[in-house]
Amino acid sequence: MVRPATLKCGGKMVSPKNVPAWQATQPRGAKRAPTDPVFHVRGVTKVYRMGEVEVHALRGVDLDLYPGEFVVLLGPSGSGKSTLLNILGGLDVPTSGEVFYLDHSLTAASERELTRYRREHVGFVFQFYNLIPSLTALENTALVTEIAENPLNPEECLRLVGLEQRLNHFPSQLSGGEQQRIAIARAVAKRPEVLLCDEPTGALDVKTGVVVLEALERVNRELGTLTVVITHNAVMASMADRVIYFSDGRVHHEHRNEQRLPANQLNW
């Protein structure tokens, strides 16, 4: 797919420089080919400068991620996985290169536009759950729906992750795996197009990890959410549509599975 150098705005072709990235786009719901990527990443580098020291976290990443895919990102520690995920999620910006979310340039977006992008379109799941201890499972999940445009029913989200029996329990009354499933319910409650997960099972034992992966699998299948999961566990590769291997700040290679293995059949 060829990206235009200029973006269409009100019928006129205008330079992206003259128009806020957020306005220089097709209206939401405009017709898009199902094969158009959700993320289009080209030549992305990220250099962290700390005094005299430069850390090259990303050294030129090219990547397209498609609607409804379940993608696993694998690679050694320090290879740039989290840096890329943070850039996709609008939490960080690259040093050079371009990132498009649908027709929106994330690299040309202002801080305010990125905040709106994160709030409306991206669900995050991290290794630690960051739930609010004084709120119940239902309240933790419902919180984001108050500021979302088109949220899901919070109870429905908790059903999706198998916690419909635990709506009124506080985080301290739930196991780590259950808390992580609330974090997933909370992430999907705003009905994001994209779910970005950084080592979601990193703090869990195998059995609990499988239940969390089943929850992600169900979200991906039932809501069609593009799901990107970073892990150190190569076993998880079998449950993905596509596995992307990172090495030294680059995509080293990728692999497409003909068939996805259900999470509960992974061979740990």
The count of residues interacting with ligand ATP (CB under 6 A) is 12
Shortest CB 256 distance to ligand ATP, Å: 22
Amino acid at 254: E
Q: Is 250 in the site for ligand ATP (CB under 6 A)?
A: no
Which of 40, 69, 80, 82 is close enough to bind Mg ion by CB under 5 A? Answer: 82
Shortest CB 6 distance to ligand ATP, Å: 32
DSSP string, 114-171: HHHHHHHHEEEE-SS----TTS-HHHHHHHGGGT-SSPPPHHHHHHHTT-GGGTT--G
Residue 256 pairs in a beta bridge with 242
Bridge-based pairing state of the strands 7-9 and 12-14: antiparallel
Q: Is 79 in the site for Mg ion (CB under 5 A)?
A: no
For Mg ion, the closer of residues 142 and 187 by Cβ is 187
26, 8 Cβ separation under 8 angstroms: yes
Q: Is 99 in the site for ligand ATP (CB under 6 A)?
A: no
Question: One symbol per residue from 57 to 96: x for binding ligand ATP (CB under 6 A), - otherwise; what is it?
Answer: x-----------------x-xxxxxxx-------------
For Mg ion, the closer of residues 122 and 152 by Cβ is 122
Which of 15, 30, 48, 252 is close enough to bind ligand ATP by CB under 6 A? Answer: 48
User: Quick one: what does residue 48 bind among Mg ion, ligand ATP, none, with the CB cut-off 5 to 8 Å set by partner type?
Assistant: ligand ATP
Bridge-based pairing state of the strands 242-247 and 96-101: unpaired
Q: Is 231 in the site for Mg ion (CB under 5 A)?
A: no
**C-beta neighbour count of 168 within 10 angstroms:** 10
Q: Which residues of 127-160 are buried (b: 16+ CB within 10 A; e: fewer)?
A: bebebeeeebbbebbbebbeeeeebbebbebbeb
Query: Near ligand ATP by CB under 6 A, which window of 48-56, 151-159, 179-187, 221-229?
Result: 48-56
Helices assigned H by DSSP within the chain? 81-88, 111-121, 137-143, 154-160, 176-188, 206-223
For ligand ATP, the closer of residues 33 and 50 by Cβ is 50
User: Quick one: what does residue 79 bind among Mg ion, ligand ATP, none, with the CB cut-off 5 to 8 Å set by partner type?
Assistant: ligand ATP
User: Quick one: what does residue 231 bind among Mg ion, ligand ATP, none, with the CB cut-off 5 to 8 Å set by partner type?
Assistant: none
**C-beta neighbour count of 95 within 10 angstroms:** 14
Shortest CB 111 distance to ligand ATP, Å: 17
**Which positions touch ligand ATP (CB under 6 A)?**
48, 50, 55, 57, 75, 77-83
